[in-house]
Structure 1
Amino acid sequence: MTGGRDDGDPSATRNDLDAGHVRNAVLAGRIGRLVLNHPPQLYLALVTGAALALAGAVTWAALAGGGSTPDPVAAVTTTTTAAAERPTITRPTTTTAEPPPAEPAPTEPSPTEPAPTTTAPKPPRPRPTPAPVEVLWQGTVKVRGDGGPGSGWFFDQPPPREGSSLGDLAYGDATTVTSDKVADLPDDAVPDQARCAELLNATAGITRASSRVGNAFCFTTRGGRVGHAVVTGTSPRDPLDPSTTLDVVVWDLAR
């Protein structure tokens, strides 16, 4: 058909495309001048309008060309505009909160230990001093060796009482004096009652003491008293009066 558009003519389609390119270029130039002459607030509106115009032109050309190859310039422009329209997504920054510092565990108050008390040791109690034992009798006796009265002496009741061949002290023979228990003194010191009692307790089975002049010994009485004797004289060879003379001290019972 003359004077009309032939949809099947490829040259006519190409001319339409070229005319569309020219219009797009003119429109782009106008948009550029508007961008330069107007403030930035209009930039987004102008870019959006240009993108819509270009998209419509490309769509129209595609429909008119029946599937012909689209203009690469229009495709690039469309992609750029779409990228410009894509909103910027700001991802929130995740900050890991540090855990609060652990509270210190409550400490139980330690029980107050009492200070050790130092107790001074008590001094030992002084032993009571025994009262001195009183002397029951003190004097000189002569122990005869004839077997008659005076052959022995008893000292539990003052003054001493004579016995015949028996007594707390008695004539043994020419060299000894007898008693229920005797203990020789180890030295010449004059003992007291306690010393004689100690020596007698340590002695067992001795009943004779030497009648040598100067000999000292301890003895016991029938009543449990303690005595001390020293030989001061002897006459064993006298056939009429054999005897031994003694200085004697007898202590009373301890109270």
Structure 2
Amino acid sequence: MSIRRFRPFSLLAGLVFVAGLGACSLAAAGSDATTLPDPSVDVAAAPGDQVAVLAGGCFWGLQAVFEHVKGVKKVWAGYSGGAANTAEYERVSDGDTGHAESVKILYDPARVSYGQLLKVFFSVATDPTQLNRQGPDTGTQYRSVIFYGNDEQKRVATAYIAQLTAARSFNDPIVTQVVPLKAFYVAEPYHQDYAQRHPNEPYIVFNDAPKVVHLKQLFPSLYQPDQMVVDVQLH
């Protein structure tokens, strides 16, 4: 089992909670989820699968959340924002490559819209008010970013952040960046589906599993169980 760098606090916290609380308490002790309004602007449905690339903390948790969203066909953990020659975990962990731990989401826009993915992102997958960190993980590689692939995605992302800001949906300012997607680099194989393959690891139990629980609670019509996630080739 691989242990991530820069996670001593989170692992210790997980062990303390495992010793003192049951699984239900662990889920309740995770990062808070937020009920948000639907986006007032969305990408028009189009035939064929579409791609969204998002970043906001450890890619283990992001991948775990979006793999449970109906209409999502595949999620890859990886890196965006930096150069190809630094898109590897040991380099990205230094925090000076420009990369953010990210996920590439292949989805069917007839079943889930881009705006709905952003609502899930802001509601349960990440805290968009934390700058260059997420929970116990600190560094620019954990920053919150929407990497837009076209002008329509940019328009929807920008409008939704403005909508949430005007509605004062969060107590603190949203610091999520909206930047063009230059490239997405798939992370090492041992990072793929990490939460699903290591459900009892303290970091997953304390930090990531609660996000999936919140997804099921807040988005019951969008939630899909593990067995419904299909495997397709990266393209």
In the superposition, the TM-score normalised over structure 2's length comes to 0.19
Q: Which has the higher strand share?
A: 1
* Larger relative contact order, structure 1 or 2 (CA cutoff 8 Å, min sep 6): 2
Q: Which has the higher helix share?
A: 2
